[in-house]
Amino acid sequence: MPLEDSDSARTVKLYDEAAVDERFMDNGWLGLAESFMAGEWDAQDPSYLWVDAMSLKGALPRKERAERRKPLVSAPRKRTFEFFSTCLDDTFNIGAADFINGPRSTVVEKGVAEIYLDDPSPLPLRKDLFGAQRRRVARMLMDAGLRRRDNVLFVGAEWGEAALEAASFGCDVTVLCENPQVEKILTERANEAKRGRIRLIPWLYRNTGVYDVLISVSSLPHDNIYDVLPQLVADDVAPRGRIVVERPWRGHTRQEMPLSWWWSYIDADSQLRSRSECVAALEAVGAQLTQATHCGHHYIRSLELWDESFRAHVAEAGALGYDAVYRRLWRTALAISRAAVRTGALEYQRLVFTKR
């Protein structure tokens, strides 16, 4: 990836101006993204165009999902484990990697330790992603204050790296698998690793035990995970238990993601929640926020490296059955996410709570 202030990163190549104009005028945000998916314009890093577009959102046309025409991809394929591990990140993690191992900037505000991760410099290489993701898992488990023989509940466990690490450390681990594919992959990985005790429970059931720690990680804001969290904290976490929630949060109200496109192509049930909404929901069931780690710069770098990796594995993605339009669809998702963090529409944070 070029440095963000270089001309090559920001250059847009326009291949069919009339087609881009037509899609944009017909469907606004959606049309701009679909014209990229159709190959009518291109850029080495299209996120910079999205940054400019978001800054002009009040002056640009936008149609909501109910107003839109038939999607360019009527029934996109689901993203499989093979898709992520082959094309994006072979560490099996899809959150914000941690690219530095030095001291953090910490400010205590109203009893909450606000930890800021500086922008990684120089720009990390793709080979750095494995170590950075492993560091992220270690820091997440440190933030959770894991002790041997703790009962740990994972809700939204990515592909299981953190759960396997906790089990290897000596914890009794339970994973609520909201996705049958995640359950299958986790079962296979747990059997192969033979590291500690891991119990897998399909879907998001409550009252499955009493836990010392609850960890929830979601790279996309799936409401089925978020909505069950307060009840899980109330019913399944022991007094003085620790809760770690890591995900993108809705940022400044003056900015927003082009949700009409996101709903149509990525996740129809996504809804951006704010950090304050999460804090209020968990405080209502007896949890208190003690620490917040701001990972925005590192999320941008992770997304950049995933995009670089994805472009390097186009042939493998095609062999898995993902056609050219879908491959460009996923590049659009990565670009929009980067733009959203740069403009403040998204804030990627890891929140730590203690149950009173």
Tell me: the pLDDT tens digits for 108-156?
Answer: 999 999 999 988 877 788 888 888 988 999 999 999 999 999 999 999 7
* Angle at alpha carbon of residue 75, lines to 74 and 77, rounded to 5°: 140
CB neighbour list of residue 235: distance below 8 Å, 6 or more residues apart: 206, 207
Cβ distance 337 to 282 under 8 Å?
A: no
Q: For residue 106, what are the contacts with CB-CB under 8 A and spacing of at least 6?
A: 113, 114, 115, 116
Q: Cα dist. 25→61, 68, 277 in Å? A: 7, 12, 35
Closest CA to 259 of 220, 216, 310: 220
User: In the prediction, which pLDDT does 39 show?
Assistant: 92
Q: According to the model, what pLDDT value does residue 258 have? A: 61
Please, which contacts does 178-183 make with residues 24 or more away whose CB atoms are closer than 8 Å?
Answer: 178/203, 178/204, 178/222, 178/224, 178/225, 181/78, 181/80, 181/81, 182/157
- Which of 315, 237, 299 lies closest to 96 in space, CA to CA? 299
Which pLDDT score, from 0 to 100, does residue 3 have?
A: 45
Spacing of C-alpha 148 from chain mean position: 28
| pLDDT tens, the chain, 356 aa long | 344 555 666 788 999 999 998 888 877 777 888 899 899 999 888 888 888 877 766 555 555 555 555 666 665 567 777 888 787 777 767 788 999 876 789 999 999 999 999 888 777 888 888 889 889 999 999 999 999 999 999 997 677 888 999 999 999 999 998 778 778 888 888 787 766 688 988 887 888 999 999 999 876 655 677 788 999 999 999 999 999 999 888 887 655 556 566 666 766 656 678 899 999 999 999 999 999 999 999 999 999 888 888 888 888 988 988 888 888 888 888 888 888 888 888 899 999 999 99
Q: Which runs of consecutive H residues, i.e. helices, occur in 171-313? A: 180-193, 223-236, 259-265, 275-283, 296-312
pLDDT at residue 255, rounded to an integer: 56
**pTM: predicted TM-score of the whole model, two decimal places:** 0.89
Query: How many residues are listed for the chain in this entry?
Result: 356
- DSSP symbols for 77-127: PPPPHHHHHHHT-TTS--S------S--EEEEETTEEEEEPPPPSSPPPGG
| Residue 65 DSSP one-character state | G
Quickly count: other Cβ atoms within 10 Å of residue 35's Cβ.
23
**Strand 237-250 relative to strand 211-217, pairing:** parallel
Q: Which amino acid is at 133?
A: Q
- 314 CB-side CA count, 13 A: 11
The domains of the chain, with CATH numbers, are: 81-250+268-296 (3.40.50.150)
H-helix or E-strand spanning residue 152: strand 151-157
**Contact yes or no for 210/236 (Cβ under 8 A):** yes
